[in-house]
Structure 1
Amino acid sequence: MSSISKDRDLRVPVPSKRLNLVLLHGLFGSLSNWDSVTRAFSDRHNIYIPKLPILQQSFAVSPMENLVLYLEHYIEENHIAHPVLIGNSLGGHLALLYSLKGQHRVWGLVLTGSSGLFENTLMDHFPRTRDYSYIKSKVREVFYKKEAVDEELINKVFSCIQNKKNVLSIIRVAKDAKRQNLKKELPNIEIPVQLIWGMQDVVTPVSVAEEFYLLLPSSRLCLINECGHVPMMEQPDQFNNLMDEFISRKIINDKETRTQKNLNSFNRTIAIS
């Protein structure tokens, strides 16, 4: 498969009987964050990875609402029926907001390091944007497995925030995400949710994952050791195995007989990998 690191939407179509998986990156994420997931699932399912317009914000609506509208348009434009939304960090938050507007449209959610309750972000204020060493250290903090952080990733973040308009857009999105705490709304999400969390996540700590687990009525929480905020990059094999189990056992097996009883019977045991 060719590289997916280019800043454009990725679509890997396969036969229409397969599930539609929509992968949503975080605030500083890119399409390449999902390389391991694409390699693991593209032979069995339709893979869609929209490039979220974080730097192209409309002032007509709030930044998070702008992202929800973009996702709605993307899903409609690509004729994506009943997707499984897989979101990391801000992407998880977006998946939750989209589902809250109409969870009948979604088969299930996979959330990893999701915002929506609490997060420590790099860009909710003006950092030392010209200090490369500082930015490098902040990017590396996000990952427990430092070998997952290469110079290309650091350079991409550093280059992005040299533009003042980009910085303002990112700060605006980060602040709006923090304002949109979903604690009261989460119990209304009844579709199956798989939570996959790094035990060493310093952006959205394990306590946040546990709160998601308690608030989402049909959720299962799996913790991955020696893993930070980006499990699909830091521990790709474990992440993909957990995601595959969820898709095979909960989504594919139940999608023809989706009932309230089925939703509530989802095994909610906290698992540690």
Structure 2
Amino acid sequence: MKKLAIGITLLLACAAGTLYFSPTALLTSVQFIERQRAGLSSHEVKVDGLTIHYYEGGPRDGETLLMIHGFGANRDNWLRFARHFSQQYRVIALDLPGFGESDKPDVNYDVASQTERLHAFVQALGISKPHLIGNSMGGHIAALYAARYPEQVTSVALLNNSGILSPRKSEMFAMLENGKPNPLVVRKAEDFDALMRFVFVNPPPLPESLKRHFAEQSMANQQQYDRIFVQLRERYVPLEPELPKIQVPTLVLWGDQDRVLDVSSIGVMKPLLKKPTIVVMKDCGHAPMLERPEETAQHYQAFLDSL
């Protein structure tokens, strides 16, 4: 009750003081409130010489849900989704190396390398047989992890994951093949609004000051993201030969209006998985846990309950 009162007070203060706060202070306040509501707190751990930042909450003796973000994203993408699980499960959402607040050394960030870093992170935290859930690139990593370490996971949930040659080419890949800029990388301020419209059917509302702040952050990371995206393509790991190695139940959830990775990927994945559960969310884009967190959480909880 005390936490709720603190959260409400801060939320009102944020709303009243938006014009007076700097974007950084406003973002810090909003993140604090969202972490409080999700029951998560910030932590960091050193793994193979890299500092990895992550959120954690929920009972430490509960089953672990390990949440893996996508390209250009970070652990904050899971906050509104995670609040539906932290009462029952140990919830962990990390900033992958190269993203968010985690270290960004000059190394390879292809999915195979990130999968091994994720495995080292799991071992460092002493996590036993987590439920993996990943979005986009994070889904690619989650699937590869479950294929490489089939006895070390309990389930996998893949939200609009990369790694599949879809029967119908997505709008993003059509743009890239035609020589157009990567729509996931912000190069100038107005690109941020375009990115939001590209990723979401109904973009989550954001104050203009935060939009500007996120646009500036994204532009500051442009070279890093360009370099990582090149590595992801040059060192691409197809999932088609990997999916049959996954032994555990697998949820494949997709927004049917995804312009980044086409929903037709499901038709390739389903016959390759031993224990698939398929969910298609209508009128939803590339990041269901951000666009419709409560509905996505309901689908995921139903999947967990079915295990």
Question: For residue 199 of structure 1, what is the aligned residue in structure 2?
Answer: 256
TM-superposed CA distance for 1:135, in Å, is 3.9
Deviation at 1:158, TM superposition (A): 4.5
Q: 1:249: how far off?
A: 1.5
Distance in 2 of aligned mates of 1:220 and 1:157: 36
Structure 1 counterpart of 2:220: 162
Q: Does 1:85 align with 2:142?
A: no
Structure 2 residue aligned with 1:95: 142
Candidates 83, 96, 104, aligned match of 1:39:
83
Amino acid at match of 1:8: H
Alpha carbons of structure 1 residues 115 and 39: separation in structure 2 relative to 1, 3 Å: same
1:8 and 2:45 are equivalent in the alignment: no
Q: Distance in 1 between matches of 2:150 and 2:215?
A: 33
Structure 1 residues 238 and 227: alpha-carbon distance in aligned structure 2, compared to 1, 3 A threshold? same
Which AA in structure 1 matches 2:296?
A: F
In structure 1, what is the equivalent of residue 244 of structure 2?
187
Structure 2: state its 5+ residue gaps.
4-31, 36-40, 43-51
Tell me the TM-score normalized by structure 2.
0.71
Cα distance in 2 for partners of 1:230, 1:153 equals 18
Given that 1:25 and 1:87 are in contact with CA atoms closer than 8 Å, whether structure 2 keeps it comes out as yes
Q: Deviations over 1:20-63 (max 9, x none)?
A: 0000000122222111222100000000111101352554x563
Match of 1:111 in 2: 158
4+ long deviations beyond 6 Å: 121-125
Residue 172 of structure 1 is matched in structure 2 by 230
Conservation of the 8 A alpha-carbon contact between 2:109 and 2:232:
no
Native 8 Å contact 2:204 2:290 kept in 1:
no
Q: Give the Cα–Cα distance (whole angstroms) in 2 for the partners of residues 190 and 223 of structure 1.
A: 22
Is the alpha carbon distance of 1:37 and 1:62 closer, same or farther for their aligned partners in structure 2, counting shifts above 3 Å?
closer
Structure 2 match to 1:138: 195
2:64 aligns with one of 20, 32, 44: 20
CA distance in 1, matches of 2:83, 2:186: 34
- List aligned pairs for 1:252-267, cutoff 5 A: none
Partner letter of residue 146 of structure 2?
A: S
* Corresponding residue for residue 215 of structure 1: 272
How many residues are paired up?
247
| Matched AA of 2:255 | G
Of the two, which has the highest radius of gyration? 2
Q: Which amino acid aligns with 1:219?
A: P
Alignment partner of 1:70 out of 108, 111, 117: 117
Q: Which runs of 5+ in 1 are unaligned?
A: 251-273
8 Å CA contact 1:148, 1:233 repeated in 2: no
Shift in CA distance, 150/180, structure 1 to aligned 2, threshold 3 Å: farther
1:65/1:184 CA distance change after superposition, 3 Å: closer
* In structure 2, C-alpha distance between the alignment counterparts of 1:71 and 1:142, rounded to whole Å: 25
CA distance in structure 2 between the partners assigned to 1:93 and 1:150 by the alignment: 32
Deviation at 1:69, TM superposition (A): 2.1
Q: TM-score, normalised by structure 1?
A: 0.79
